[in-house]
Amino acid sequence: MALPYTHYYKLSFYALNLKKSGPLHLQPICCVQCNSNVSSSPFTEKHSLQRYQRDQWVYSSSDDQAASCSVPSDSDSVRLNDIALQLPELRKLLEVLKHKRESCGGQVPKNGPGNVFLVGTGPGDPDLLTLKAVKVIQKADLLLYDRLVSNAVLDLVGPDARLLYVGKTAGYHSRTQEEIHELLLSFAEAGANVVRLKGGDPLVFGRGGEEMDFLQQQGIQVKVIPGITAASGISAELGIPLTHRGVAISVRFLTGHSRKGGTDPLFVAENAADPDSTLVVYMGLSTLPSLAQKLIHHGLPPDTPAAAVERGTTPEQRTVFAELKDLADKIKTAELVSPTLIIIGKVVALSPFWPQSSKEASCLVEA
């Protein structure tokens, strides 16, 4: 679906009667200029049209809302309003599900908890889902997703499934987060199949462990369906062996995200500066300049081959190849955005796409 650069949306969705993405009939109330990056992104951008379409099931049965538009200038407020609006709808869905299960109580072997799955969806290409993930997704009653789950993957859900965007925003109201957790619990206890979709693999920098913790403390068993982590999906795309005889005997995954209260990941730079290992940095765009400097400082050769891959495995994939010393600059010139994966190590030069001549070095490769 080709979207114009100017998107029209309104906070009142009664004109839309959709359960998930489909043809769109909108009455222009207000308009927001979107940059082309957002309109062509394979992922759900925070205030994108796709997101509102998907989540609109929570609005369609709510009380009459005036057809006036009041777009708050503060994106956090929009977010909080959305969640607050969604909770009553989630509660309604929950009652519907409970009723459904009670009425076919004969079919449900036990009145035990429903199933909660943490499902890895891979880096973006829907063909990289595992068979198991597809089966689980198609049986889900409620799917929670965030920005790292590609649009193409979300298109695979069953016709009656409900999708709910739960991406984090700065300043997310903690009370509301707790309410979401409690609802998840209630859904599970009511016997619903709840799926929490995660980009890549849920247990590699997905914060999947934290989500499991919460539910398990409540006595709900969470099943994890692994996914193709970005390192695997993207190395396959580029033909870069993460380990290779005589070149790299180990591969290490790091995150560039420095979380408040967490150990500064840049501290690992010292023993990560190992020319016989491959380094893969997740979510590393903002801290890369600093990381590259530290690696070189701790002994990694400045001409170590490196690659930064934006939106890997999707049609919008873009790759920057450079030597480590030039990587930060080239990334900046190419204006790469998240999600971008960075691979550092001699193995990068084994890619058939690694530029051969120094003139071509540090070039941008588009899918």
* Residues labelled as active-site residues: 146, 168, 283
Residue whose tokens read 């994108």: 48
- Which residue from 212, 292, 320, 327 is in contact with its own copies, where contact means CB under 8 A? 212
The 246-265 site mask, x for binding its own copies (CB under 8 A), equals xx-xxxxxxx---x-xxx-x
- Residues of this chain, 273-332, that bind its own copies according to CB under 8 A: 274, 276-277
Q: State how far the Cα of 76 lies from the Cα of 121, in Å rounded to an integer.
A: 27
Query: How crowded is residue 42: how many other Cβ atoms within 10 Å of its Cβ?
Result: 19
* Shortest distance in whole angstroms from residue 284 CB to its own copies: 12
- Which residue from 63, 64, 127, 160 is in contact with its own copies, where contact means CB under 8 A? 127
Residue whose tokens read 């198609």: 138
- Is 345 among the residues that bind its own copies (CB under 8 A)? no
Q: State how far the Cα of 233 lies from the Cα of 125, in Å rounded to an integer.
A: 9
Q: State how far the Cα of 253 lies from the Cα of 203, in Å rounded to an integer.
A: 12
283 phi-psi bin (left φ>0, alpha ψ -120 to 50, beta other): left
Q: State how far the Cα of 201 lies from the Cα of 43, in Å rounded to an integer.
A: 16
- Residues of this chain, 171-200, that bind its own copies according to CB under 8 A: none
Q: State how far the Cα of 150 lies from the Cα of 133, in Å rounded to an integer.
A: 14
* Shortest distance in whole angstroms from residue 236 CB to its own copies: 4
**Segment lying near its own copies (by CB under 8 A), choices 84-92, 182-190, 207-215, 327-335:** 207-215
- Is 137 among the residues that bind its own copies (CB under 8 A)? no
- Which residue from 125, 141, 310, 326 is in contact with its own copies, where contact means CB under 8 A? 125
* Shortest distance in whole angstroms from residue 244 CB to its own copies: 4
Burial of 175 (0-12, 13-18, 19+ CB in 10 A): exposed
User: Which two structure tokens, joined as six digits, stand for 65?
Assistant: 């809302």
- Is 151 among the residues that bind its own copies (CB under 8 A)? no
Let me know: does 313 contact 128? Beta carbons within 8 Å.
yes
Nearer to its own copies, 114 or 227 (CB): 227
CB neighbour list of residue 65: distance below 8 Å, 6 or more residues apart: 11, 12, 14, 59
Residue type, 286: S
**Total binding residues toward its own copies, as defined by CB under 8 A:** 67
* Shortest distance in whole angstroms from residue 276 CB to its own copies: 6
**Segment lying near its own copies (by CB under 8 A), choices 19-27, 29-37, 202-210, 283-291:** 202-210
User: Applying CB under 8 A, which residues contact its own copies?
Assistant: 120, 122, 125-132, 134-135, 201-205, 207-210, 212-213, 216, 221-222, 224-229, 232-233, 235-237, 239-247, 249-255, 259, 261-263, 265, 268, 271-272, 274, 276-277, 347, 350, 352
